[in-house]
Amino acid sequence: MTAHSTATPDLKHLAQETREAARQLAILTTDKRNQALEAIAQALETAAPDILAANAEDCRVAEVEGLAKPLYGRLKLNESKLQGVITGVRDLVRLPDPVGEVQIHRELDTDLVMKRITCPLGVLGVIFESRPDALVQIATLAIKSGNGVILKGGREAVRSCEALTRAIHTALEQVGISPAVVRLLTTREETLALLQLEHEVDLIIPRGSNVFVRFVQQNTTIPVLGHADGICHLYVDEAADVQKAIALTLDAKTSYPSACNTIETLLVHEAIALTLLPQLAEVLQTHAVELRGDAPTQTLLAQHGMTIQQATEEDWKTEYSDLILSIKQVTAMEAAIAHINTYGSRHTDAIVTENDQTALDFMNRVDAAGVFHNCSTRFADGFRYGFGAEVGISTQKMPPRGPVGLEGLVTYKYWVAGDGAISASYTGPNARPFTHSDLK
Amino acid sequence: MTAHSTATPDLKHLAQETREAARQLAILTTDKRNQALEAIAQALETAAPDILAANAEDCRVAEVEGLAKPLYGRLKLNESKLQGVITGVRDLVRLPDPVGEVQIHRELDTDLVMKRITCPLGVLGVIFESRPDALVQIATLAIKSGNGVILKGGREAVRSCEALTRAIHTALEQVGISPAVVRLLTTREETLALLQLEHEVDLIIPRGSNVFVRFVQQNTTIPVLGHADGICHLYVDEAADVQKAIALTLDAKTSYPSACNTIETLLVHEAIALTLLPQLAEVLQTHAVELRGDAPTQTLLAQHGMTIQQATEEDWKTEYSDLILSIKQVTAMEAAIAHINTYGSRHTDAIVTENDQTALDFMNRVDAAGVFHNCSTRFADGFRYGFGAEVGISTQKMPPRGPVGLEGLVTYKYWVAGDGAISASYTGPNARPFTHSDLK
C-alpha cells in the first residue's frame, strides 16, 4: 500500500513484545489495572522534579531553535499543569471499566449460550506532537482499557517524554506489570515504521494537525482514529430568536478559534438576514472577527456602512482555525442543508430556530456526527458529553464517530459455550430449531 | 492511494444520484421502508418468469463458456430458490428497524439534552460474484437500514441481475421511492471506479474469494466489511471428553468444508493424544478427510498402521477450504493459545474440555472474534446467533467484528438540543457544572 521501506526488524520485535505484554495486561482484573493507574499517579508525583527538569531542558532547546509559540506553549510543563495530569490519572481510576461488559447474553438452544463481551483491542499506536501531558493521558487510557501502547512523541519533547515514561515504567514494575506495555519511540523514522506494523498494532491514533492526520490516514492499512477536518456550520433559520443567534455565533466562533468544533461558516435564511446581520456583524467585529460574505451579505452590510471581503468557493471549503467567519444567505433551509452536506466535514452542525419541527428536519437530514439545535457547536466534546475521558474525535462515518471515550479502545468477542453441540443437528429435514431467547 | 485511473465522471454522477436518493430514503418511516420491502417481494413474484428466463440464458452461456462447477451452482436459480429469496425479503420486514434506536439519552445540564441515535451509513458499495440471490438480499438489507446501494454483480450473472434489478425498481417506483436508491453496475472497469468513490460511498462489502477480498481491501480508502481468511482451530484439552472431541472435530471439519468457520488445524494436548488420535483418525478417514500431522502425530498414527503426510509451516497458515485437516500436538494449553494467536485469522477458535476454568482461560486469552467451548466453530454465523439477517463476517478487530447483522449498516449521530446554551458558561472561574444524568 505504501512506498516506504518495511518496518525495521528491531521495531517489529519491540512491538511483538508489547503485543505479548498487552495480552497479559488484558486478562488482569479491573482492580489490578486501577492499581497500576494509582501507582503511576504516585510515581509521577515522586518523579515530578526530574520531569520538570527534563521539560525545562526541552524548553531551553526549543527557545534556542525558535520553536513556534503555540507549540512552545503546549510543550511547557509546570508544577500545576503536571498536577492536573496526575489528577486526570486518578479521575480515570474512578471511570467504569470498559472491558468485560456483556453486550448480548442469549440462549441459542438448551445447553448452547452466546455472550458478546467487550475486550481490549490489543496494541495502540499513538503519534502526538509537543504536548508531553498527552503521553500520560494516552498511556493511562490504554492501561485502563487493557491495551498496550506504542507512543511516538515530538522530537522537541523527547526529554520530557523519556522522564514521564521512566516514571510510568517504575510504577508498572512495582505492581508486577511488564513495562513493555508502554513503549516510547523517539525518532521520525520510527513513525513511518510504526504505520506499517499491521500485525502488531490494532489502531493508530494521530494527534496533530489536519495535514498530519491525513498523512497518517494515507500511509497505513491499520485503522486510524482521528479527524482531518472540522468544518462546522451554524444555520440561522427564519424562525430564529435573533439574540440567541448572536450569542451562539459569538460563542461558536470566538470561544476557541483553533478548536475543531468551532464554526467556519454561518448560513442565514434571507428572511432574517436584514434583522440579524448588521447587529451580528457589529458584535463580531468588536471581537476582532474578520467577516467574508456572499454577494447579498456584502451588499446588505455595505448598506450599513460595513465593507467585508467576498467569500469564494475556497472559503466554503476552508477550516480557518482563526478569527475568520464566512457568511452565506440561503433562500430556504433546503439550501442550507445542501451546503452543509456538500462542504461540511461531518463533524458538527447546528441550527438556531424556535420552530421545533424545522429543527427536527434539519437534524434528521444533516449528515454529521453532531446535529445541534439552539446550542453552540463547542459542546461537541467528550468531556462535555460526559464520557469522562476523550480518546479523540472521529469524523469517519463508521462507529465510533464524534467524540470517542474509552469505548473506542475496546472491541468485543463472541463467547459460545455448549455441551458438545454440533451444527449438523440444526440442518436438514430433522433440524432442531434455535430458541434465540435473550437472558438476563 | 491506488494506481488506478480516477472514477469516470459518469459513475461519479450516478453515485451522487444514489447518495441523494439515499438521503431521501433515510428520513422515511420504518413503515414506509417495510412497505417498500413488501412491494419488492410482490414484484419479484410477478417478475418470476422473466427472472428465471434471464437466469436460464445466463446459465446457457455459462455452460458454453465452461464456467467452473461451484460457480455454476451458485449462478443457477430455480423456482424454489427464488421463492426462498422472496421469503427472505418478507422475513426482513419483521426484523426490528436498526435506524432510530436511542443509544444514549443524557441531560448535560438544565435545558441541554444529548441523544445518540442510530442512522443509516449512506451508500453501500457491494461487489459479489455469481449468486444473483445475493443481489436481492443485499438490496433489501440496504433498504431496511435506510441506505442506498451500488451493486456490482458477476459478468456471468448479468442477465439475472438486470432482471432482478428491474423488478426492484418497479417496486420502488410503486411506493414512491427513487429507483436510484439501488444501482446496478455490470462491467469490471466499474468495480475499480467504485472503489475510488470515497466521497460517494461509505462502506464497501466484497463478497467473494479471499484473494478478491484482499484485493478490495488493498485498493480502496473506503472502509471495507469483509473477511479475507478463515483459519479456525479446535483445541482438544487433556481434560476433554473424547467422544465430544471426535463429534466436534467431525462437524467442524466436514459439515461444510468450504465455509470460513470450518476448522483447518486440530491442536491436541499430548496427554490425550494416544486415546484420541487413533479413533479420531479412523472416523475422519471414513469421511474422506486427508490428515497431515506434526512428527509426534505421524509417529503415533504410524504405530496404529496409518501413514499420514507431514504438516509443514505452510499448513498452519493455510485455509484449505477442503477436506484436509492438519494436526499438531502441544505439551500445554499455553502452546495451543500461542499457535492460534500466531497462525489464526481471529475468526473463531474452540476448546474441548470438561474443565470450565481451563475453558475460561482459553476464551480469555485467544485473540479471535469467536471463542467457543465444547461446541462446533460452525455456529459462528449471523443466523445461528439470532441476528436474523447477516451482512457479512468481519475478521477485523474494530467493531463490527464476527458475524454482522443489520447493525453493521448503521452508524449514529449525536443530537444536542438547548435553549441558547453557550460553551463559555461552562469555563472559567464561574463555570457552571454539567449535570450529566442519564434519562430514560
Question: Do B375 and A426 lie within an 8 Å CB cutoff?
Answer: no
Q: What is residue B388's DSSP assignment? A: S
| B243 interaction partners in chain A (CB closer than 8 Å) | 420
pLDDT of B130 reads 72
What pLDDT, on the 0 to 100 scale, is given for residue B188? 82
Q: Does A206 lie in the same domain as A176?
A: yes
CA atoms of B163 and B51, how far apart (whole Å): 5
Interchain pair B416, A375: CB under 8 A: yes
- A150 and A255 part of one domain: no
Of residues A383, A335, A345, A364, the one with CA closest to residue A262: A345
Task: Tell me the average pLDDT across B189-205.
Answer: 92
CATH code: domain of residue A334: 3.40.309.10
Chain B contact probe: residue of A411, A413, A435 with most B CBs at under 10 A: A413
Could you tell me if residue B90 is inside a domain?
Answer: yes
Are A112 and B398 a contacting pair at CB < 8 A?
no
> Is residue A30 assigned to a domain?
yes
Please indicate whether, in this complex, the C-beta atoms of B376 and A423 are within 8 angstroms of each other. yes
Q: What is the pLDDT of residue A6?
A: 52
pLDDT tens digit sequence for A179-232: 999 999 988 888 899 999 999 999 999 987 778 888 898 888 898 988 767 899
Checking if the pLDDT of A2 tops 50, the result is no
Dihedral sign for Cα atoms in the order B167, B173, B179, B182: negative
Q: Is the peptide bond preceding residue A96 cis, with omega within 30 degrees of 0?
A: no
Are B166 and B52 in the same domain? Answer: yes
Nearest to A415 among B112, B341, B363 (CB): B363
Given a cut of 60, whether residue B6 has pLDDT beyond it is no
A191 and A245 assigned to the same domain: no
Q: What is the pLDDT of residue B60?
A: 96
CB contacts, 8 Å: B426 with chain A: 384
For B306-337, what is each residue's pLDDT tens digit?
A: 999 999 999 999 999 899 999 999 999 999 99
Q: How confident is the model at residue B86 (pLDDT cuts 50, 70, 90)?
A: very high
Residues B213 and B240 in one domain: no
The region, left, alpha or beta by phi > 0 then psi within -120 to 50, assigned to residue A386 is left
Distance from CA of B163 to the nearest CA of A (A): 31
> Which residue in the set A26, A243, A434 is minimally distant from B384, CB to CB?
A434
Do A279 and A361 lie in one domain? The reply is yes
Q: Look at residue B4 and tell me whether its pLDDT is greater than 60.
A: no
Among A94, A347, A379, A410, the strongest candidate for a mutation testing the B interface, having the largest count of B CBs within 10 A, is A379
pLDDT over 80 at B200, yes or no: yes
Best to test chain A binding among B287, B366, B413 (most A CBs inside 10 Å): B413
**Do both B203 and B243 map to the same domain?**
no
CB-based contacts of B341-344 (< 8 A; 24+ apart in sequence): B341/A23, B341/B365, B341/B366, B341/B367, B342/B316, B343/B231, B343/B265, B343/B316, B343/B317, B344/B231, B344/B232, B344/B233, B344/B368
Compute the average pLDDT of residues B348-365. Answer: 98
- In the numeric block, the cell 487433556 is attached to B238
Q: Grid coordinates in use for B201?
A: 460511498
> How far is the C-alpha of B221 from the C-alpha of B204, rounded, in Å?
10
**Is 50 exceeded by the pLDDT of residue A290?**
yes
Given B184, B218, B252, the domain boundary residue is B218
Same domain, B23 and B146: yes
Residue B16's closest chain A neighbor by CA? A342
Band of pLDDT at residue B1, cut at 50, 70 and 90 = very low
Residues B211 and B257 in one domain: no
pLDDT digits (tens, 9 = 90+) for B107-166: 999 999 999 999 999 999 999 877 899 899 999 999 999 999 999 988 899 999 999 999
- Count structural domains, chain A: 2
We report the CATH number of the domain holding residue B170 as 3.40.605.10
Boundary-marking domain end, from B218, B250, B280: B218
Q: Do B23 and A422 touch (CB under 8 A)?
A: no
Asked whether residue A437 is assigned to any structural domain, the reply reads: no
C-alpha cell at B43: 414484484
In a domain, B125, yes or no: yes
Give the angle B74-B80-B85 at the CA atoms, nearest 5°: 70
% residues pLDDT > 90 (chain A): 81
For residue B381, the model assigns a pLDDT of 92
Q: Are strands A402-404 and A392-394 parallel, antiparallel or unpaired?
A: antiparallel
Beta bridge partners of residue A148, listed in sequence order: A123
Which of chain B's residues have a Cβ under 8 Å away from the Cβ of A417? 359, 372-375
Q: How far apart, in whole angstroms, are the C-alpha atoms of residue B27 and residue B31?
A: 12
Inter-chain residue contact B416 with A203, CB threshold 8 Å: no
Residue A406 lies in a domain: no
pTM summary value: 0.90
Whether residue B319 sits in one domain with residue B212: no
In a domain, B186, yes or no: yes
| Same structural domain, A65 and A186 | yes
Domain final residue pick, A357, A379, A401: A379
Yes or no, beta carbons of B399 and A412 under 8 Å apart: yes
* A56-70, A208-222, A262-276, B108-122: segment of lowest average pLDDT: A208-222
- Flag if A23 and B341 touch (Cβ within 8 Å): yes
In a domain, A415, yes or no: no
- The reported pLDDT for the residue numbered A1 is 37
Of residues B223 and A351, the one with the higher pLDDT is A351
Q: Are residues B196 and B248 in the same domain?
A: no
Evaluate whether residue A421 is within a structural domain: no
> Which residues fall within 8 angstroms of residue A66, CB to CB, at 6 or more apart?
none
**B423/A121 touch (CB, cutoff 8 Å), yes or no:** no
- Domain residues for the domain of A85 are 9-218
- Chain B residues touching A26 at Cβ < 8 A: 364-365
